[in-house]
Chain A
Amino acid sequence: MKKIRLRVNGIRRELIAAPATVLLDVLREDLRLTGAKQSCDRKGQCGACTVVVNRQAMRSCRVRVADLEGAEIVTVEGLGTPDNPHLIQEAFVLSGAIQCGFCTPGMIMAAKALLDANPDPTPAEIKQALRRNLCRCTGYKKIIEAVELAGRFLRGETTPQAVRPTAVQGIMGVSHPRPSAMAKACGAAYFTADYAVKGALELAVLRSAIPHARIVSIDASQAEKMPGVAGVMTAADIKGTNILKYLVADRPVLCKDTVRYIGDPILAVAADTREHAAAALEKVQVELDPLPTLSGPGAALDAAAPRLHADIPNLCFDQPQSKGDAQKALQDSAAVVSARFRTQINHQAPLEPEATIAYWEQDEAGGDDQLVIIGRSINIHYHLGMLQSALGWENMRYIEAFSGGQFGIKIDVISEGIAGAAAIHFRRPVRYIPSLAESMLMTSKRHAFDMQVKLAADAQGRLTAYCNDLVVDNGAYHSIGHVVVHRALLMLSGSYHIPNVAARGRLVYTNNPWGSAARGAGPPQVNFALECAMEMLAEKLGVDPFDFRLQNSLRPGQSKSTGRVVQEWPFPALMEALRPHYRRAVKEAAAGRSGRIKRGVGLGTGAFGIGGPGDAAVAAVELDPDGGLSVYAAAADPGEGNDSMLTQLTAECMAIPLDRVRLYTRDTGNTAASGPAAGSRVTYMIGSALLNALEQLKAAMQSTGAKTSSELEAAGRPKRYIGRKKNEDAGPLDPQTGQGPSFESQVHAVQMVELEVDTETGKVKVLKMTTAVDAGPVINPLNLTGQLEGGMDMGVGFALREEYVAGRTRDWVTFKFPTIRDSFDMEIIVRETPRPKGPLGATGVGEMCLVPTAPAVINAIRNAVGVWICELPATPDKIKAALAAA
């Protein structure tokens, strides 16, 4: 131990620290300055913990406190507060550079050190300074713009007042700062791991290191004697069903007799500190008897393969889709292409690791105490019900903390099950804050697809038939597996009119990580196959791929692969909007093919359904005593900007200032059960339910002349209204034909990638992506473009780099997380065709932004160097091999 004197945010501190103690832990745990975040297991990979030490940006997880004698440290809390923010914090808020906000404090502190030394940095200098700071949400574009704006503020060239939108500009279509942004910019937004709970037990969980085994025995006797240990919890200690049933009852909180994937939880040790819990875990003796591994759908579908779940076949879902007569159309077509496309298992990669807090609230009336869960859920009401059943405790409440991104990963319950079970078993508060490595092990993944495809056209270049035999690796547990297959089939024909379709979607249990929602959830995979096949077919027909796509656009009155006829399809106008950009890009690429580095252009389109069959949402509004409005809707906001959406829609509808709208969205104790923040549905479904409630309130206010809650009640009218929204086109697809209900609306996009391929190394450098999008009237432009930019960046990662390999992918380096140095130029073209049933005509956009991306990248590689990469990710090795074989 060593006594250290230093200054933190101008305050002198004296600390006694062990030699290995790092600054991050002292800041967060001793000084309770939780603005600096922990993501990468203290490996210095993410920069979320960046603070300024002696005027230098330092990753505080890599700085030993023992080396800081006399140091001057500034954290994000020392920079400014929400009431008195620093100009850099203002710049991040006003630039739309803050989505989930988890990386924001680190980004801001890295920017602070840069701007102190260089008040007018170039974009290249900004990228260099922020090269160690990761962001999953933004694609880095707005972060670079925020640093540039901060420089302008600091140089006195402009002011936040001059940049900030005013009431005069109106509400809709104006980038009013997100209500939550400033708290995130100042480190004042509480993420789950930021909560300290006095007396809470910390957990360490033993997880299977092999993919399939029988649990023969567990001996925790030595672990229970270790210092600080409160006890060891196994499946036998869980009072409820021990099954986290999302749609199928197959996933245990803790495994009882069998483990089914690398990462399956076996037991939990609870102790007074994480270190004690981890040390005790080392003493647990577990004997596993390995079982045959179902390494993929091929192995699992073998007739001799054992069942992964005794009561469910490995082929757990099988949905054909048939429209017209595809086989006959294939025979009659002038051109047919055939190919096999495969996508990888991938991690959604929110920057914040999994985390749950569970604590008890005493019932003063003498009933059962209430177990409160704080976590990262995007569907708090549904998850609450899952937890009540699994854990056998009825009196429970769920609170959504600020959440460091999720991208589908939190559609299902993850760490909440074990944390809640431990709180019940030990009757103590519990903090379960797993490492990044453990978070990667325990969470769901994007499903891998294996697709055998045929696409055909007639001599005039009109699509005639499409066949897609898709096999989906479900992994060990179901979660939303069949929904992903459904969604793939619902959006199978993408942007196009294809009169004949023959498809089959099969979902197969394996011993791989369990698949679940991942941004787009199905359509990004099938659209990769369709859009690459479109390129192949255009090539075979000798027609321009741009014109080929436009020619084959679906039109109102024609039907999708589900047979549902569409009433609106504003895709052709989007193509026309992109046309001049495409012409420019093709010309520039043609001039860049002579040397080792070759340039290519690729296109991808997408039509993403919003408001699925039978989807329903509810929201409540209440007129307040001061004439303001409170909105009660469980509309999770892990970074998309749903707080902006709810606030701006309310202010617009009721003609009140934004600051008179109060949101209650995070607690099962006071919100309407609005459904998941998934499927890009929040704006369309919850926004519509909100408007429905507001219209009722407005009518009551207008008919009575009331301006406040007391006036309204005095006039005999309620102050609170419930709004609803439902897609009446409900029900499953026909099990034989795959024909049936579909989405109520679509968001449309076309993306164009410009890139370079190094023919010697196989490395790809994306130069620019241009997205033309039509999501209806825009509510908040910076939120819309922020989603698109982040989606493009994520889509490129999916196309070129990212893959989750169980046991090998354990941090951000092995995952190949996109950095600011991978970032590229982005341009967005917006069209705003109103959707008749959307809230003020709007739809959603959160997932569409990466649906066309991977095929656009692969098509551009083909355009550059003439090879097809049909198995994602398109790594340099695969490209080199394809070039060698060409």
Chain B
Amino acid sequence: MRAIAGREVAFDEEGFFEDFESWSEEIFEALAQESGIEAITDQHRRVVRFLRDFYAYNGRAPLNNQLRQGMGLSLLELEGLFPQGLKLGARRLAGLPNPKTCS
């Protein structure tokens, strides 16, 4: 558990949300700042919204080509938005939990 944006949130060892429902815009903004994103743009928010909608519908993160097609951006452009990459950056900041493992 850690306190962020005024709330106690459970993260796993890699910093992913334990619970998809714990996410909020405020927490996203705090995490984005920590991750080195200097200014959150509409593109960031669109990616995060896409990821969250996809997860809510499918119970998993999108494959990269699904993300690319869904956003209409190349992987290079997507990676450019999130300094920590698509998994540790975009997916983590969007509140998508890691796939469950034996821990």
A824 contacts B by Cβ under 8 Å: no
Closest to B1 in A: A731
Residues of A within 8 A of B74 (CB): 367
Interface residues in A667-723 by Cβ distance below 8 A to B read: 668-669, 671-676, 678-679, 720, 722
Tell whether A676 pairs with B65 under 8 Å between CB atoms, given A618-B59, A722-B56: no
Binary interface encoding of chain B residues 45-65 relative to chain A, with 1 for a CB under 8 A from any of its CBs, else 0: 000000000001111110111
* A480 contacts the other chain (CB 8 A): yes
Contact of A673 with B101 in the complex, beta carbons under 8 Å: no
**Which of A196-204, A378-386, A431-439, A449-457 lies at the interface with chain B?**
A378-386
Contact of B61 among A620, A634, A673, A676 (CB under 8 A): A673
Question: Are B75 and A668 interface neighbours, CB within 8 A?
Answer: no
B99 touches A678 (CB 8 A): no
Q: Report if A365 contacts B (CB, 8 A).
A: yes
B1-33, CB < 8 A from A: 10, 18-19
Cα-based distance from A722 to B59 in the complex (angstroms): 6
A334 interfacial by beta-carbon distance below 8 Å: no
Instruction: Tell me, rounded to whole Å, the shortest Cβ–Cβ distance linking A793 to chain B.
Output: 24
Closest-by-CB residue of A relative to B69 is: A365
Q: Which residue of A lies closest to B79 (CB)?
A: A394
Knowing A365-B69, A395-B65, the reply to whether A385 touches B87 (Cβ < 8 A) is yes
Selected from A397, A634, A678, the residue in CB contact (under 8 A) with B63 is A397
**Complex Cα–Cα for A453 and B74 (A):** 60
Check B68 for interface membership: any CB of A closer than 8 A: yes
A749 contacts chain B at the CB level, 8 A cutoff: no
Q: A381-B60, A720-B57, A730-B18 are in contact. Are A367 and B100 (CB under 8 A)?
A: no
CB distance from B92 to the nearest CB of A (A): 12
Q: Measured between alpha carbons, how far is A396 from B69 in the docked complex, in Å?
A: 15
B60:A673 contact, CB within 8 angstroms: yes
Return chain B residues, CB-CB under 8 Å to A618.
59-60
A672 touches B98 (CB 8 A): no
Residues of the B chain whose Cβ atoms lie less than 8 Å from the Cβ of A722 = 56-59
Is the CB of A614 closer than 8 A to any CB of chain B? yes
**Which residues of B sit under 8 angstroms from A397, Cβ to Cβ?**
63
Q: How far is B74's CA from A675's CA once the two chains are assembled, in angstroms?
A: 29
Q: What are the residues of chain A within 8 A of B75 when measuring CB–CB?
A: 367-368, 394-395
Chain A interface bracket (under 10, 10 to 19, 20 to 34, 35 or more): 35 or more
Is the Cβ of B59 less than 8 Å from the Cβ of A395?
Answer: no
Nearest Cβ distance between residue A665 and chain B, in whole angstroms? 12
Q: Which of B69, B75, B101, B102 has the most CB of A within 10 A?
A: B102
Report if A674-B98 is in contact (Cβ < 8 Å); known contacts: A367-B68, A370-B65: no
Question: In residues 727-783 of chain A, which contact B (Cβ within 8 Å)?
Answer: 730
Taking CB as reference atom, which chain B residue is nearest A412?
B102
* Complex CA distance for A669 and B99, rounded to whole angstroms: 14
> A617 — which chain B residues lie within 8 A by C-beta?
100
Residue of B nearest to A616 (CB): B100
**In the bound complex, how far is the Cα of B102 from the Cα of A493, in angstroms?**
22
Contact of B37 with A by CB under 8 A: no
B58 touches A620 (CB 8 A): yes
A848 to chain B, nearest CB (A): 17
Q: Complex formed: what's the CA distance from A614 to B18 in Å?
A: 9
Q: Is the CB of B81 closer than 8 A to any CB of chain A?
A: no
Query: Taking the nearest CB of chain A, how far is it from the CB of B67, in angstroms?
Result: 10
Q: A370 to B63, Cβ gap below 8 A? A: yes
* Chain B, Cβ-Cβ closest to A368: B75
Contacts of A246 in B (CB 8 A): 101
Does the CB pair B101–A676 fall under 8 Å? yes
Inside 8 A of B58's CB, which chain A residues have their CB?
Answer: 620, 632, 672, 722
Q: Which residue among B18, B19, B59, B98 has the maximum number of chain A CB atoms within 10 Å of its CB?
A: B59
Q: Is there a chain B Cβ closer than 8 Å to A483's Cβ?
A: yes
Q: How far, in whole Å, are A368 and B75 apart by their CA atoms in the complex? A: 9
Docked complex Cα distance between A673 and B99 (Å): 6
B41 within 8 A of A: no
Interface range on chain B (Cβ under 8 Å from partner): 20 to 34
Given A367-B68, A674-B59, A517 contacting B18 (CB threshold 8 A)? no
Contacts A365-B69, A385-B87, A632-B58 given; does A517 touch B102 at CB 8 Å:
yes
CB distance from A431 to the nearest CB of B (A): 23
Contact B102 A730, beta carbon cutoff 8 Å: no
Q: Given A367-B74, A517-B102, are A616 and B97 also a contact pair (CB < 8 Å)?
A: yes
Determine if A411 is an interface residue (Cβ-Cβ < 8 Å): yes
Whether A381 pairs with B99 at a CB distance below 8 angstroms is yes
Contact assessment for A668 and B60 in the assembled complex, using a CB-CB cutoff below 8 Å: yes
Decide: A673 and B86 in contact? CB cutoff 8 A: no
In the complex, whether A16 has a CB less than 8 A from a CB of chain B is no
A619 near B103 (CB under 8 angstroms)? no
A330 vs chain B, min Cβ distance (A): 34
B103 contacts across to A, CB distance below 8 A: 247, 480, 483
In A182-240, the 8 Å CB interface with B consists of none
A679→B102 contact, CB < 8 A? yes
Q: How far is the CA of A385 from the CA of B56 in the complex (A)?
A: 19
Contacting residue for A382 out of B10, B18, B98, CB 8 A: B98
Instruction: Tell me if B99 and A382 are in contact (CB < 8 A).
Output: yes
A388 contacts chain B at the CB level, 8 A cutoff: yes
Closest to B68 in A: A367
Given A385-B87, A394-B86 in contact, is the A483-B59 Cβ separation under 8 Å?
no
- Chain A's closest residue to B101 (CB) is A382
Q: Which residues of B contact A614 (CB under 8 A)?
A: 18
In the complex, the answer to whether B59 meets A672 with C-beta atoms within 8 Å is yes
CB within 8 Å for A388 and B87 given contacts A367-B75, A632-B59: yes
A671 to B10 CA separation, bound complex (whole angstroms): 25
Q: Is residue A363 within 8 Å, beta carbon to beta carbon, of the partner chain? A: yes
CB distance from B86 to the nearest CB of A (A): 7
CA distance A668 to B64 in the complex (A): 12
State A517–B69 Cα separation when bound (angstroms): 38
CB atoms of B98 and A385 under 8 A apart: yes
Q: Which of A633, A675, A720, A726 contacts B101 (CB 8 A)?
A: A675
With a CB–CB cut-off of 8 A, which chain B residues contact A668?
A: 60, 63
User: How distant is the Cα of A674 from the Cα of B87 in the complex, in angstroms?
Assistant: 18
Given contacts A394-B64, A619-B59, A722-B57, contact A676 B18 (CB under 8 A): no
Chain A 369-382 interface mask (CB, 8 Å, partner B; 1/0): 01000000001011
A-B contact pairs, 18 of them (CB 8 A): A363-B65, A379-B99, A379-B101, A394-B64, A395-B63, A483-B102, A483-B103, A619-B59, A620-B58, A632-B58, A633-B59, A668-B63, A669-B63, A671-B60, A673-B60, A676-B100, A720-B57, A722-B57
Q: 10 tightest A-B contacts by CB?
A: A672-B59, A675-B100, A381-B99, A673-B60, A618-B59, A382-B99, A673-B99, A395-B64, A620-B59, A382-B101
- Extra pairs beyond A247-B101, A616-B18, A669-B63 (15, CB < 8 Å): A363-B65, A379-B102, A382-B99, A382-B101, A389-B87, A395-B65, A395-B75, A480-B102, A480-B103, A616-B19, A620-B59, A673-B59, A674-B59, A676-B100, A720-B57
